[in-house]
A and B are shown apart, each in its own frame.
Chain A
Amino acid sequence: MNNLIIKRSQLIEAQFTGTPATGKKYQFTEIPNISRNNIVIYGFEAFTATQLAVTPNNNTVVAAGVSDQLVVTLIDNDNKERVYQLPYYTAIRSLNGGFVLMVKPFILNLTRSYVQITSATGITANEVASINLYYSIVGED
C-alpha cells in the first residue's frame, strides 16, 4: 500500500454562510496564489474540529459529529467534476488508517469546487469545511 508524499500543500475552506441549507453549494474561498487554475492536485485531506479547531482565517471548523453530513466536489479547469460528491468522512486521514486520499492529478478550478450539506443538523452558520490540498504547480516537477 502506498501513501502520499507531500510536495506542496495549502489549506482551503468552504464557509457555510447564513443558515446552513441541505443541497446548497458552498464554494471554496478564493486564494489568489492557487485560484488561477495553476495547480495540479494529486491528493487531499479533510479536517473536522478534532484535527483543526479553527482555521488560520479564524473560522471554526465543523464538528467531528457532522463529518458524515457533507460531500465534496472538486472541479477541473475544463469544468468537469473530477471528484463528485465524495463523502467528507472518506477524506479524513485519521479515520482511514492514516492513508491520504490520492486522485489522478488534475488542474483544479478552486473557486468552482464546492461542499454540500446532506443534513444541516449540528452545523452552525459560518462554520467551515476545511481541506488540505496536496499539489504541485503547473509546469513544475
Chain B
Amino acid sequence: MAAVVSPIINYFLTNNLCKDYTAIEGEMSTLVTLSFPNTGDYQRAYYFASNNMLDGQNCTITAIEVVLSTELTRLPSGEFNVDSSILPNGVLYVSNLKRQIIATLPLYGLQRTANNGKATFTYFNDQVWQNCYVEFTSTGFTTPITPLTFRVYYVPKIKN
C-alpha cells in the first residue's frame, strides 16, 4: 500500500525544507579544523581559512557537524581535538560574499551525539567559507583551547 504524503510534507520535500533523517548527508565530506591563538578570547570572530571547494560557487553544503574528542581524540595533524564542555559557549556563523549572515548555529546543536545520531541538514548555496566564523559568547572560553573540528558534507556543483 502506497504511503500517504500530506500536502504540507510534500511542500517541504519539494522545496528542500526537509528530508528523511536517514537520508544521505551529502555526496562528499571533508574535515575542517579551526585553530585558535594560545588563549582564546570571547566575543571575537575566529574565521576559517580559505577553502574554495566549500564556497557556494563550487558546492552546496548539505550538512555540518562538530567532531568531538570522544569521536576523534587526535586530529590528522596530531593535535588533540576539542572537548565538548566548551560547545555551549560557541556559535558558528555562515556568511556570504557580502558578509551577510546566512545562518547562526550554536555549536552544541551540531553534535551528532546530542541529537540522537541525527545530522544537522543544511542547504547553503551562496556561502564563502573564509567569511564563515566561530564566536564564543561567554568567558568559559578564555582558558587555553584545542582546535575545533567540523565535518562538512557537500554536493559539488558541476561546471563546464
Where the two chains meet, the residues of A that have a C-beta atom closer than 8 Å to any C-beta of B are 1-11, 42-43, 45, 47, 49-56, 58, 93-94, 97-99, 102, 104-105, 132, 141
Q: How far is the CA of A55 from the CA of B137 in the complex (A)?
A: 6
Where the two chains meet, the residues of B that have a C-beta atom closer than 8 Å to any C-beta of A are 8-9, 11-13, 15-21, 43, 88-89, 91, 101-106, 108-109, 114-118, 120-124, 135, 137-138, 140
**Residues from chain A with Cβ under 8 Å of B106 in the complex:** 11, 47, 51-52, 132
Interface centre among B16, B43, B109 (most CB of A within 10 A): B109
- Nearest CB to that of A11 among chain B residues? B104
Contact of A42 among B12, B13, B43, B89 (CB under 8 A): B12
**Residues from chain B with Cβ under 8 Å of A49 in the complex:** 88
Q: How many A-B residue pairs have CB under 8 A?
A: 114
Contact B137 A58 (CB under 8 A): yes
Contact B123 A94 (CB under 8 A): no
Q: How far is the CA of A9 from the CA of B110 in the complex (A)?
A: 14
**Residues from chain A with Cβ under 8 Å of B89 in the complex:** 53-54
Contact of B121 among A4, A42, A54 (CB under 8 A): A4
> Given A54-B89, A94-B109, is A2 in contact with B21 using a C-beta cutoff of 8 Å?
yes
Contact B135 A5 (CB under 8 A): no
**Residues from chain A with Cβ under 8 Å of B115 in the complex:** 93-94, 97-98
28 contacts between A and B (CB under 8 A): A2-B13, A3-B18, A5-B16, A5-B19, A5-B121, A5-B122, A6-B120, A6-B121, A6-B124, A8-B102, A11-B106, A42-B17, A49-B88, A51-B109, A53-B89, A53-B140, A55-B137, A56-B43, A56-B91, A56-B104, A58-B43, A93-B115, A94-B108, A98-B21, A102-B12, A102-B18, A104-B8, A105-B11
